[in-house]
Chains A and B, each alone.
Chain A
Amino acid sequence: DAGVIQSPRHEVTEMGQEVTLRCKPISGHDYLFWYRQTMMRGLELLIYFNNNVPIDDSGMPEDRFSAKMPNASFSTLKIQPSEPRDSAVYFCASRDDRGSSYNEQFFGPGTRLTVL
């Protein structure tokens, strides 16, 4: 298994531009999570999906952020318009649902976003 795949690995853009981050979860995993990591705020959960349905988006900072999961193998996180304070590493993670607490999340390599 290739693990969780994220693209791009690095993104540099200018303020006001639209940014789209992509994630392919591990095949068969029911849950997909989007996190943001910064030095100031640590690792923050933005949104998560179960069976392609958004369950909790309370961590999405504002309306400029949106996430979709059109099918079980693909999700996007979009920022429009981007701002310098959005600069961070964005992680996607997935896990399966075996109905117990033992379901570690598998993280993708992250996308390092820099907004100038």
Chain B
Amino acid sequence: AQKITQTQPGMFVQEKEAVTLDCTYDTSDPSYGLFWYKQPSSGEMIFLIYQGSYDQQNATEGRYSLNFQKARKSANLVISASQLGDSAMYFCAMREVTGNQFYFGTGTSLTVIP
């Protein structure tokens, strides 16, 4: 079974609008961390935001927030007030405390339309 599932291969959003990128995960570990990375066309992987499984509040970092629904095992990334520079691939990832590796999803390509 896939550890991380991103069901949206591509998304479009109008500049200044908000967009939600979906991510669901699968684990039986009670303790885990969820991460989002951004990969612009230049290729580097940029860490955006983290959510711990025991965190009571949804994580926020500037225009990024993570909509964490533990019972549904979802960790959607919300980007508010989209900018042209947000056009990129976005990867959801998970690390279980009992393991060391990260599991990455297949990514969502976001295009911001002027």
Contact = CB atoms under 8 A, between A and B. Distances in A.
B50 A43 contact: no
Interface string A11-52: 000000000000000000001010000000011010010100
A48 B100 contact: yes
Contact of A106 (B33, B47, B53): B47
Contacts of B97: 100-101
A42 B106 contact: yes
B114 interface: no
Interface string B33-59: 101010000011111001011000000
A42 B103 CA distance: 11
B101 interface: yes
Measured as residues with beta carbon below 8 angstroms from the partner, the interface class of chain B is 20 to 34
Contacts of A104: 35, 47, 50
B104 A43 contact: yes
B53 A42 contact: no
B64 interface: no
Contacts of B35: 104-105
Interface in A62-76: none
A31 B100 contact: yes
Interface of A is mostly: strand
Measured as residues with beta carbon below 8 angstroms from the partner, the interface class of chain A is 20 to 34
B104 A48 contact: no
Contacts of B37: 107
Interface in B56-96: 91, 95-96
> A33, A93, A101, A112 — which one has the most chain B CB atoms within 10 A of its CB?
A101
Given A42-B106, A107-B46, 8 more contacts: A31-B100, A33-B101, A43-B91, A43-B107, A91-B45, A101-B31, A103-B95, A110-B45
Interface of A: 31, 33, 42-43, 45, 48, 50, 55-56, 89, 91, 93, 100-107, 109-110, 112
22 contacts: A33-B102, A43-B104, A45-B102, A48-B100, A48-B101, A50-B100, A56-B101, A100-B33, A100-B52, A100-B97, A101-B53, A102-B33, A102-B50, A102-B52, A103-B33, A104-B35, A105-B47, A105-B102, A107-B45, A109-B44, A110-B44, A112-B43
